[in-house]
């Protein structure tokens, strides 16, 4: 498929525009194309102009799901993209970050589950967060199979912090300890610090702070009840 005809199809999905026809570069049967300079994105192609990145060719885009995309940033000074080409077909699955509209509508007016706010400033605006920060679950990547419980409302400040915590966990396979927040009674509500495929992110405070609080109350209640029973009926042990 001609690379720009392919992009036309994607831009229809992203921007509901169907006026662009691309006739600049055609990948061969192996998915290889020539280098396309950003200087070619003029006139009817100007909306595809690239800077440090482009929505139609980012890692989560439909184009990147089909092809391996290479960028050249060495022709000019700075970090801007100077040229782009396709280097064969992508055999790896790429996680789509799209979230279904009804799920967005459900969460957008709710408060941040970590900070309890929903404001209008940049850091207090609500973002719909993928609870599983590794973003490797193919089901959640499919908008038709997504569930409300796969997501949670976080303000931008909390979501930015969580994103970095999840990146570190992915590198080390060591989960974030909830006792880093003073007053939290347990490190995890399920499992321990070691990331496992069986549990995944479940049990980590960052994955679901609401579940963490509910489980903490339940655990404390059970421990208190057990302690009271042992004191009231200690003679039964004799």
Task: Indicate whether 110 and 216 sit together in one domain.
Answer: yes
The answer as to whether 96 is a domain residue is: no
Rounded distance, CA 88 to CA 33, Å?
A: 8
> Residue 25's pLDDT is what?
62
Task: Indicate whether 117 and 52 sit together in one domain.
Answer: no
Rounded distance, CA 226 to CA 232, Å?
A: 10
> Residue 110's pLDDT is what?
97
Exposure pattern of 86-103 as b/e (b: 16+ CB <10 Å)? Answer: beeebeeebbbeebbeeb
> Residue 35's pLDDT is what?
87
Q: Is the pLDDT of residue 11 over 70?
A: no
User: What is the average pLDDT value for the chain, to the nearest integer?
Assistant: 84
Task: Indicate whether 184 and 205 sit together in one domain.
Answer: yes
Task: Indicate whether 112 and 161 sit together in one domain.
Answer: yes
Sign of dihedral through CA atoms 88, 167, 142, 191?
A: positive
Task: Indicate whether 120 and 183 sit together in one domain.
Answer: yes
* Region of poorest pLDDT, from 19-33, 83-97, 222-236: 19-33
Domain final position from 36, 60, 89 = 89
The answer as to whether 17 is a domain residue is: yes
Structure tokens at 166: 């999840």
How do residues 27-82 score in pLDDT, each as one tens digit?
788 888 888 888 887 776 776 776 555 666 777 666 777 788 888 888 777 778 88
Q: Is the pLDDT of residue 88 over 80?
A: yes
The answer as to whether 232 is a domain residue is: no
- Please report, in angstroms and rounded to a whole number, the separation of the first and last CA atoms in the chain: 82
List the alpha helices (DSSP H) in the chain. Answer: 3-15, 62-66, 101-107, 138-141, 156-172, 209-232
Angle at 59 between CA 15 and CA 29, to 5 degrees: 90
The answer as to whether 238 is a domain residue is: no
Q: Which residue has the higher pLDDT, 101 or 14?
A: 101
Task: Indicate whether 136 and 169 sit together in one domain.
Answer: yes
Task: Indicate whether 84 and 105 sit together in one domain.
Answer: no
Query: How far, CA to CA in Å, does 109 sit from each of 42, 131, 140, 209, 210?
Result: 40, 18, 22, 18, 17
Residue 23's domain comprises 3-89
Task: Indicate whether 138 and 195 sit together in one domain.
Answer: yes
Task: Indicate whether 131 and 211 sit together in one domain.
Answer: yes
Rounded distance, CA 129 to CA 153, Å?
A: 6
Strand 36-37 to 151-155 pairing: unpaired
> Residue 8's pLDDT is what?
52
Task: Indicate whether 66 and 121 sit together in one domain.
Answer: no
18 pLDDT band, cuts 50/70/90, is very low
The answer as to whether 235 is a domain residue is: no
Task: Indicate whether 31 and 74 sit together in one domain.
Answer: yes
The answer as to whether 18 is a domain residue is: yes
The answer as to whether 206 is a domain residue is: yes
> Could you give the number of structural domains in the chain?
2
Q: Is the pLDDT of residue 238 over 90?
A: no
Task: Indicate whether 44 and 73 sit together in one domain.
Answer: yes
Average pLDDT of the residues in 117-140: 93
β-pair partners for 66: none
Alpha-carbon dihedral angle through residues 110, 116, 121, 126, given to the nearest 10 degrees: -40
Strand 83-89 to 67-72 pairing: antiparallel
Query: 7 with 26: CB under 8 angstroms?
Result: no
Domain final position from 89, 114, 139 = 89
How do residues 144-202 score in pLDDT, each as one tens digit?
999 999 999 999 999 999 999 999 999 999 999 999 999 999 999 999 999 999 999 99
> Residue 2's pLDDT is what?
58
> Residue 218's pLDDT is what?
96
pTM: 0.62
């Amino acid at each position: 498929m001609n690379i720009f005809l392919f992009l036309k199809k994607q831009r229809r999905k992203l921007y509901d525009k169907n006026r662009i026809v691309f006739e600049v570069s055609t990948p061969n049967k192996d998915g290889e194309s020539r280098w396309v300079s950003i200087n070619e994105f003029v006139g009817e192609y100007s909306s595809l102009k690239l800077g440090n990145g482009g929505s139609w060719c980012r890692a989560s885009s439909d184009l990147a799901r089909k092809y391996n995309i290479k960028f050249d940033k060495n022709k000019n000074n700075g970090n801007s993209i100077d040229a782009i080409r396709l280097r064969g077909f992508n055999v790896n699955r790429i996680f789509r970050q799209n979230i279904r509209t009804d799920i967005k509508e459900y969460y957008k007016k709710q408060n941040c589950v970590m900070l309890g706010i929903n404001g209008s400033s940049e850091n207090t605006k609500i973002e719909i967060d993928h609870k599983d920060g590794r973003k490797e679950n193919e089901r959640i990547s499919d908008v038709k199979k997504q569930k409300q419980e796969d997501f949670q409302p976080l303000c931008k400040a909390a979501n930015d912090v969580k994103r970095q915590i999840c990146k570190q966990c992915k590198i080390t396979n060591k989960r974030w300890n909830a006792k880093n927040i003073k007053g939290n009674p347990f490190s995890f509500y399920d499992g321990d610090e070691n990331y496992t495929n069986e549990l995944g992110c479940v049990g980590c405070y960052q994955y679901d702070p609401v579940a963490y609080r509910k489980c903490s109350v339940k655990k404390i209640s059970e421990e208190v009840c057990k302690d009271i029973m042992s004191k009231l009926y200690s003679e039964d042990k004799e």
